Structure 1
Amino acid sequence: MSVTMTASASERVKSFLTNRGKGFGLRLGIKTTGCSGLAYVLEFVDEPNEDDSVFAVDDVNIIIDGKSLVYLEGIELDFVKEGLNEGFKFTNPNAKGECGCGESFNV
């Protein structure tokens, strides 16, 4: 199982955790929603759950729950700035398509 993160994403997550003042890492998961069926979820984790898998990537803990793990195998997390917009970008080899607005995907 592999999860990767670009240097840009790693620095952004480290910055968020430092500003927050606490936190074990960042949870990457999925939820059912949107035009295509699944959407990514990011949230801070202070303590992982028993069914979580923890991936240490560039001194950042990425936490993925058991249900999301199968959909996120091989994912890369990036942080990009495009003009005035900035945000996390997901490169997921399991995604077969995305909705037109880019908010959801299907497998």
Structure 2
Amino acid sequence: MAIKLSERAAEEVKRFQKEHNFDDSMLLRIGVAGGGCSGFNYTLNFDDSFDDKVDSKYEWHGVAVVVDKKSALYLDGTTVDWYESLEKKGFTFDNPNAVKSCGCGSSFQA
């Protein structure tokens, strides 16, 4: 299984790329880093590098997504979506590997 990007999330990524004049070489890099109130933080960055020895690459709704293989262990089966309401907006992570998440949803425990 892989990490998935919802159609709404892909549209938001494309909007951001266009707004910041990113060219087609820029990839959405999704990963995890130690920290946060639950142990791991989700990371989202744009990157123009891909190394097939340490990265996996996917394409969802026209967006190239790169995940380093170490992060992929914690993100396998995760769906990244875009949420928008009157109170807040941002990317959400539905991670089946998380046994505990913080209240804001930006960190998790595996």
Same fold (TM over 0.5): yes
Partner of residue 36 from structure 1, selected from 35, 38, 42:
38
Describe how 1:41-56 pairs up with structure 2 within 5 A. 41-50=43-52, 51-56=54-59
Q: Closer, same or farther in 2 for the Cα pair 1:92/1:81, shift >3 Å?
A: same
Q: Kindly, what percent of the aligned residue pairs are identical?
A: 37
Q: Closer, same or farther in 2 for the Cα pair 1:18/1:101, shift >3 Å?
A: closer
RMSD after superposition: 1.4
Query: 2:29 aligns to what?
Result: 27
Q: Does 1:7 align with 2:7?
A: yes
Contact 1:54 1:64 in 2 (8 A): yes
Cα distance in 2, alignment partners of residues 90 and 105 from structure 1? 10
Secondary structure of the 2:8 match is helix
Contact 1:17 1:25 in 2 (8 A): no
TM, length-normalised to structure 1: 0.90
Letter in 2 for 1:27: R
Cα distance in 2, alignment partners of residues 53 and 60 from structure 1? 14
Partner of residue 92 from structure 1, selected from 92, 95, 104:
95
Partner of residue 65 from structure 1, selected from 44, 64, 68:
68
Q: Would you say how many aligned residue pairs link Structure 1 and Structure 2?
A: 107
TM, length-normalised to structure 2: 0.88
